[in-house]
Amino acid sequence: MTVDAVERAQVGQLLAQWRRRRGISQLELANLAGVSARHVGFVETGRSQPSREMLLRLAEHLDVPLRDRNTLLLAAGYAPVFQEKALDDPAMRPVLDAVRRVLHGHRPYPALVLDGRRTIVASNEPFDRLFTAGVAPHLLAPPANVLRLVLHPDGMAPRIVNLGQWRAKLLTGLARRAALDERLRPLHEELLGYPCDQPVPELHVPGPDEIMIPLELRYGDRELSFIGTIATFGTARDLTMAELIIESFFPADDRTAAYLAGS
């Protein structure tokens, strides 16, 4: 097999993995991309070399993250098209200004901004006051990782009432992302070694009336309950911007809402 054939097979295998991950058939992908199912099959088996434009079109319909689209391009012998600017790059200033406005406007509820490695980029005062109370300084020193902050025994973990549930939730999500992004694998291995004094379910089976897993947090003599939501930049074409996450927390019960309204 020639080098070109090997590269075609590699990019085809990657595309097939993403298609299966998204749970769609070759025919469904072909219809979305406006090509024949036969052509998609040939690309996946390495019998056909996709153009750069076709590869990007297929990746768009598979909702492949930008970083992984660069990987597909490289596997096919093309140069990456998505760049990665540092957060202190002048071009990123409007983005950072926007997220700071979001954080400010979310008060009195906690919110923070994370990058692709779950490093804390920015946070608002309610998050700093409620979530980092009693946390060891070394966990807050930049670059502070929010997963380490939550699960470390010197972090939030002792104050999380339902720590077992949250440990299972966070580690399951991190394992899924680490399978695609090798940068996260050392962090996953580190967090697996943290102690937990509660049962950690391998699979959480929801009860008939359960619609979410709230974050139940002790704060002084109170127990506060939060719902978490996540927002991203849907039209980003820069890797750093595409991987930014705005995580916002809302009160999950009337008691928490009343306390936050008066704080």
* Nearest alpha-carbon partner for 111 in 257, 256, 249: 249
* Nearest alpha-carbon partner for 115 in 159, 146, 91, 150: 146
Q: Give the 3-state DSSP-derived string for 40-60, with helices as H, strands as E and coil as C.
A: HHHHHHCCCCCCHHHHHHHHH
Supply the pLDDT for residue 7: 53
Residue 93 one-letter amino acid: R
Supply the pLDDT for residue 179: 84
pLDDT tens sequence across 70-104: 999 999 999 999 999 999 999 999 999 999 999 99
Split at pLDDT 50, 70, 90, the class of 51 is very high
CA distance 44 to 114: 34
pLDDT tens sequence across 28-39: 999 999 999 999
CA distance 173 to 192: 13
Split at pLDDT 50, 70, 90, the class of 198 is confident
Pairing outcome for strands 120-123 and 111-114: antiparallel
**Mean pLDDT for the chain?**
91
Mean pLDDT of 54-74: 95
Give the DSSP per-residue string, 72-92. Answer: HHHHTTPPP------TTSGGG
Mean pLDDT of 1-25: 78
Q: What is the DSSP letter of 182?
A: G
Which residues, 6+ apart, have CB-to-CB distance to 129 below 8 Å? none
Lowest mean pLDDT among 155-159, 181-185, 244-248: 181-185
Pairing outcome for strands 215-219 and 120-123: unpaired
Q: Cβ–Cβ contacts within 10 Å for residue 195, how many?
A: 8
